[in-house]
Structure 1
């Protein structure tokens, strides 16, 4: 089958099927390893929040800290390799930079670091290493594809990453959107189609193997949109934006604090110990928070417990991520959002607002905080819809997620994913370029009066290193240009002397641009000529000379978004 230079072709779609199948098996294998560690440490298959009770509470900080210490050793080894070989391990960076492959050794050691952190109860999600390993699997598959298919390894990595994420959350469309939004900047719909195929195949594989139910039990409850529920949705969206901004800020400060500890093992050990101390108050902060979300949706917590858990989980996640524990932020963000949504809805009910079932607002909070933290609102909306299988939540999820992401964006908070910041920067640079005027890039240009000599033109040209010298009248109106090459030719041919006035060799039909023209019009003007700079005039009627616009300055502005 002949390859195509386009991202969307039949070959790409067919390759997406085995990639999705393989990615789902990789996530199952990772999950099995975590369960095995739970059996070895706690003799139980229960979640970490329950299993930790096997040990006396006095040992909890030591257990989580020891896991962090071990995780630090693995992570330090991976970081050393990355620094020595200048590698980019993260699958999003590989996709965005269109690199040849996901590094195998560093990915595996980062996965081992994550297993140590997750297995001992660090407050991080499992999805990060699962998707990284899925991406690694896709990269290895991509290496065996024949070059004639003309399919980049980074495209196969993107398929595998989307498939791995959908295997974790059973949300194929949201997973495909996430990879497209974060890594591609959703720049081309064609690149999204293979991700959907791969993600769907991964979920079908999970269903075939018995993992079929919705992750969160809200499918049978309907959300009724009215003035009160709309008001609460808006409040949740705004508060979730602030909560997401706070979490990102706390993580940044936590990283700065832990960076004082140069040893990675000690750094992760200290982070684990701190989380273990918080676990003395409540073990529900341990792990990624999946089972706690189920409890929240079941109404197992009263308002004081919800508030306490909201604060503790935010702190625990900030400590775990800040200490460089390898893992994801998805499920911790979902738990923080669920807690926030139910807290605000419970307060609304206490104020006698007719909100109906307050537990439904857990899902709205989940989408909103996830959108704020990831800055991928479309992904957050679709993911919560697919995880709850409740279509009545569509509109409140859209409102809350967009509001939350907008709050974080307006607060100029650094994104959880650096790639997102790059996309935002490029988008803003493109917007600036499209809205800038030529006047903003004007530089001074050498100009002479018509009666001045060609000798003076040569002197100005030599001083300014310009091929053309502009000619203006006494009022500053642009008359034309003199070419230094033309002057030299005519002087050598003895057609003029160095004392001849420049008006004898002036070109009065020279292209120009105007100060109020857009950057795009300036670009189009340069596309018609082979000149490095063009004169800038105030308007077509007065034609007053203002300076020059250079091709280099245009290219430098365009480079910011290309």
Structure 2
């Protein structure tokens, strides 16, 4: 068995979600955008040369008489056909597929460069001459190619698969085409990764939509938090502040969960449940003397914050006391949710950070707008469900300008809480992450982590010794190595027994006369997944592990049981 061509890097993190992927996604997204812009410029240049205009081909082609239009489009198609024929010839010769989705699914090591470029030239010829096709296909393919090249040459030693970087580039390319970052990311997750949970999302959307439609029918049509009047300006200052809010929200969300855990431990000492809840209520009521805004779920307070009704001192007091009051109420076993308290804490945090930044001379256009950004970020941190948090803020405010900054803040908040190993308020989320991490470890682990020692004989050892070793180890096969430790093959105890009974050999015959030199093997630097695939092709319980295909030094054995136990964590 060969090592295979899949390129898997060792990871320094035990988590599938890590800062490395976030940091790599930034230059990959930037490069993908430049690629799509370059493609657009090429098409515009062709239009200028061919039609003398930068207008869309539907208007620009009018510069020629109508009877020439079929010729123009036809010649473009002919030229496109030559490029495509050359690309397909290369694909057949080298038995490769150009589709970036194949790379994302880890069926290919990298996006093929030559065929991608020739397919792009074919698309340019078709689009430039007016063929009725879209631009997004080749633009995303070229973006994926750029990501693949960056993964191979710019980030070869990072704990990321090339397929992961290609996925980032594909999502960025699609986003730059349609200006829809969230939809593009979901597309790659749903179509390329094949996440089955997204398929189960459809009936949930239907039932949720019916619920909202029912409310509208009954007259409840307004946004939960009317905030459509404010607009988030995409300035460098606002984006930097968004990053700060996101990171702080991760810390604040983690702090809230920690406070709740501490509160539960202390209230657990009170055996009587009524007394426990009564004590919690007493403490929260006393705290409300400082500011009654900490009482309740905080809906009206959020509305007041969005209206600019709090100063810095009041926001600081409200932030601290609301976190404590929530921890005390939840810790005393009060039945209720954390959604709105998290939203209120986030609104306070966002406005407070923005107001402090403005006080320090930082250019902030509207501090109140960061209330919504903070709401989504803290909710994402506490729930560790960033997609839900960003969409919820968008739907509750009906303010589309908040989508992009809320996305950034929610992702950063979730990452911060996750890397701090903060437990989600929903235990099922922890189970999802545990399974995800286990699957990540399985996909990225290497066989050397599972090597067990195993007996091996020399070629000159008698077959009787092989029978004795087999009886002791309860194995059907015994491995054979030479004096330098090189793997020579394996002997079958079943074959030895038959040959001895048939008097073809004796118990004193050397094992070299019955060794199977083509016995399947695996190598220490192969992935666990490749080891799994190796076992799927044979009916063996263990396989010999060698150092590499060239030296073939015997290191020990890989057992099927160890892989099954490893896979059990995510199955």
Do these two structures clear the TM 0.5 threshold for a shared fold by scoring above it? yes
Asked if 1:378 is matched to 2:387, the reply is: yes
Asked if 1:556 is matched to 2:565, the reply is: yes
* Structure 2 counterpart of 1:119: none
Asked if 1:443 is matched to 2:452, the reply is: yes
* Structure 1 counterpart of 2:221: 212
* Structure 1 counterpart of 2:243: 234
Q: 2:522 aligns with which of 499, 513, 532?
A: 513
| Aligned equivalents of 2:401, 2:450: Cα separation in 1 | 52
What RMSD over aligned residues (CA atoms) do the two structures have, in Å?
2.0
| Aligned equivalents of 2:195, 2:393: Cα separation in 1 | 20
| Aligned equivalents of 1:335, 1:394: Cα separation in 2 | 19
| Aligned equivalents of 1:255, 1:530: Cα separation in 2 | 52
Report the TM-score when normalising by structure 1. Answer: 0.66
Q: 1:526 aligns with which of 520, 524, 535?
A: 535
SS at match of 1:188: helix
Deviation at 1:268, TM superposition (A): 2.1
Q: 2:350 aligns with which of 341, 358, 362?
A: 341
Q: How does 1:233-382 map to 2 (within 5 A)?
A: 233-382=242-391
* Structure 1 counterpart of 2:144: none
Deviations 1:30-51 (A, max 9, x none): xxxxxxxxxxxxxxxxxxxxxx
Q: How does 1:125-144 map to 2 (within 5 A)?
A: none
* Structure 2 counterpart of 1:109: none
Q: How does 1:73-92 map to 2 (within 5 A)?
A: none
SS at match of 1:543: coil
* Structure 1 counterpart of 2:52: none
SS at match of 2:558: strand
* Structure 2 counterpart of 1:398: 407
| Aligned equivalents of 2:364, 2:515: Cα separation in 1 | 79
* Structure 2 counterpart of 1:76: none
* Structure 2 counterpart of 1:489: 498
What is the number of residues matched between the two proteins?
Answer: 383
| Aligned equivalents of 2:507, 2:361: Cα separation in 1 | 93
| Aligned equivalents of 1:524, 1:241: Cα separation in 2 | 40
| Aligned equivalents of 1:486, 1:254: Cα separation in 2 | 68
SS at match of 2:407: helix
Deviation at 1:263, TM superposition (A): 2.9
| Greater Cα shift, 474-483 or 500-509 | 500-509
| Aligned equivalents of 1:254, 1:499: Cα separation in 2 | 75
| Aligned equivalents of 1:261, 1:500: Cα separation in 2 | 78
Q: 2:438 aligns with which of 413, 417, 429?
A: 429
Deviations 1:200-234 (A, max 9, x none): 10000011112110111211121112122112111
Asked if 1:413 is matched to 2:422, the reply is: yes
Deviations 1:76-113 (A, max 9, x none): xxxxxxxxxxxxxxxxxxxxxxxxxxxxxxxxxxxxxx
Deviations 1:128-182 (A, max 9, x none): xxxxxxxxxxxxxxxxxxxxxxxxxxxxxxxxxxxxxxxxxxxxx99xx9xx99x
Asked if 1:545 is matched to 2:554, the reply is: yes
| Aligned equivalents of 1:306, 1:186: Cα separation in 2 | 41
SS at match of 1:491: helix
Deviation at 1:521, TM superposition (A): 1.4
In structure 1, the gaps of 5 or more residues are 1-172
| Aligned equivalents of 1:205, 1:253: Cα separation in 2 | 41
Q: How does 1:36-115 map to 2 (within 5 A)?
A: none
| Aligned equivalents of 1:186, 1:406: Cα separation in 2 | 21
* Structure 2 counterpart of 1:466: 475
Q: Which has the higher contact order (CA 8 A, sep 6+)?
A: 1
SS at match of 1:507: coil
Asked if 1:501 is matched to 2:501, the reply is: no
Report the TM-score when normalising by structure 2. Answer: 0.65
Structure 1 residues 539, 439: CA separation in 2 closer, same or farther (over 3 Å shift)?
same
SS at match of 2:507: coil
| Aligned equivalents of 1:326, 1:458: Cα separation in 2 | 68
SS at match of 2:345: helix
Structure 1 residues 186, 451: CA separation in 2 closer, same or farther (over 3 Å shift)?
closer
| Aligned equivalents of 2:237, 2:548: Cα separation in 1 | 56
Deviation at 1:187, TM superposition (A): 4.1
SS at match of 1:332: helix
| Aligned equivalents of 2:351, 2:195: Cα separation in 1 | 32
| Aligned equivalents of 2:206, 2:311: Cα separation in 1 | 42
| Aligned equivalents of 2:324, 2:395: Cα separation in 1 | 28
In structure 2, the gaps of 5 or more residues are 1-181
Deviation at 1:492, TM superposition (A): 2.9
* Structure 1 counterpart of 2:207: 198
SS at match of 2:550: coil
* Structure 2 counterpart of 1:222: 231
| Aligned equivalents of 1:483, 1:476: Cα separation in 2 | 20
| Aligned equivalents of 2:547, 2:419: Cα separation in 1 | 36
Deviations 1:244-301 (A, max 9, x none): 0100111111111122223333222222222122122222211111111111111222
Deviation at 1:196, TM superposition (A): 0.8
* Structure 2 counterpart of 1:43: none
